[in-house]
Structure 1
């Protein structure tokens, strides 16, 4: 199985999701600034990295975990799905591919933090906003990862696209 967490830039919520998935972040605890800033690729990718699949590692079951920034594109993930279907049929692979959208977990502080830090290069404003946003979103991201793993286990589809609606994520924390 291959997991691909995706969001706009591929460097904040998707990186945190990959870290939770790979157990590089502690479960059910408030994250510290140090933990957040040490997550691989968190706030480190450039705009030119959008569309690149970034390998984060293999989970405890040997499943590969990737992230990707898809920008504003509504067709990027469905296009990857179609490409994977073609390759799977050609090579007769039984590998499952799971796309999980982390964008619904992005709080406003993280949006502005990313804008200041990555787009404008003003880290002294952007990084504290990103850390604040990551702390706020961490429980939702952790739930999203568990939800993604559960859906992956229970699907019979070869390629599953999980959109992760904000209301589902908010209800999980109630």
Structure 2
């Protein structure tokens, strides 16, 4: 299975969600500043990399977890990716594309703009972290819902595979 956590620039909210999913961040407490700073890709993606999927790791169910920046065209890009994959014969049943932006506060948006667009990392990065800390358990809930959906899809695929093999 492939899981894509999507946001504007693949630098903040998608990184946090993917990191929670992979166990790089805790689910029972709000992480400290340094725990965010040392995450792979956190506040590092450059504008020319938007649209490039970054592999974050494999989860406990052996699913591939990615982050993907989609700028302000998330619905359009998601539709384009899925329709392209379907037209080329690629199975999209085991593909999840999760929008993480609904969990982003205006503080995180301002921080991301300051850090990534203006290059004022010393101000922007702490603001992104502060904003994410405010909504951290919303990210945990999002990931928990994704993991439930992932397990259900895998169970359905396993059942279908078992059924097909017993014909």
TM-score relative to the length of structure 1: 0.83
Cα offset, 1:95, TM superposition: 6.1
Unaligned 5+ runs, structure 2:
158-167
Runs of 4+ in 1 over 4 A off after TM superposition: 155-158
Aligned to 2:161: none
Q: In structure 2, what is the Cα distance between the partners aligned to 1:137 and 1:13? A: 10
Aligned to 1:43: 43
Unaligned 5+ runs, structure 1:
159-174
Give the match's secondary structure for 1:83: helix
Aligned length: 155
Q: Is 2:23 the counterpart of 1:23?
A: yes
Q: Larger Rg: 1 or 2? A: 2
1:126-166 deviation digits (Å, cap 9, x = unpaired): 122111012112111111011112123335999xxxxxxxx
Q: In structure 2, what is the Cα distance between the partners aligned to 1:120 and 1:72? A: 18
Aligned to 2:102: 104
Aligned partners of 2:19 and 2:25 also within 8 Å: yes
Aligned to 2:129: 131
Aligned partners of 1:109 and 1:132 also within 8 Å: yes
Give the match's secondary structure for 1:62: coil
